[in-house]
Amino acid sequence: MANTNQEKLSILRRKQVEKRTGLSRSTIYLRIQEGTFPRPINLGARAVGWLENEIEEWLMSRMEIRNNS
C-alpha cells in the first residue's frame, strides 16, 4: 500500500483545471500535445483527471517565467 508519509493525492477534473488555470478545454489539450502542460490520468472509460500538485507546480512555473521576464 502507499507510504503513509506521502502527501494525500488530490485529483482535479477538467472543469476544476479550467477554473484554476483560466485555460479553455481546447487550450489545455493543445498544450498537452505540445508537452507544455501536465498530462491527465485515466480515471475510467470516459473520465480523466489531473493531479492537483502537478497543476500547482505548472502554475508556479508560469509565475517564475513572469517574474524572470
So what's the pLDDT on residue 8? 83
pLDDT per position as a tens digit, 15-24: 999 999 999 9
Residue 17: other Cβ atoms inside 10 A: 22
Q: Which residue has the higher pLDDT, 66 or 27?
A: 27
The matching CATH number, chosen from 1.20.58, 1.10.238, 1.10.3470, 1.10.287, for 11-67 is 1.10.238
36 exposed, middle or buried (CB, 10 Å; 0-12, 13-18, 19+)?
exposed
Q: What is the 3-state secondary structure (H, E, C) of the chain?
A: CCCCCCCCCCEECHHHHHHHHCCCHHHHHHHHHHCCCCCCEEEECCEEEEEHHHHHHHHHHHHHHHHCC
pLDDT per position as a tens digit, 13-54: 999 999 999 999 999 999 999 999 999 999 999 999 999 999
| pLDDT band for position 69 (cuts 50, 70, 90) | confident
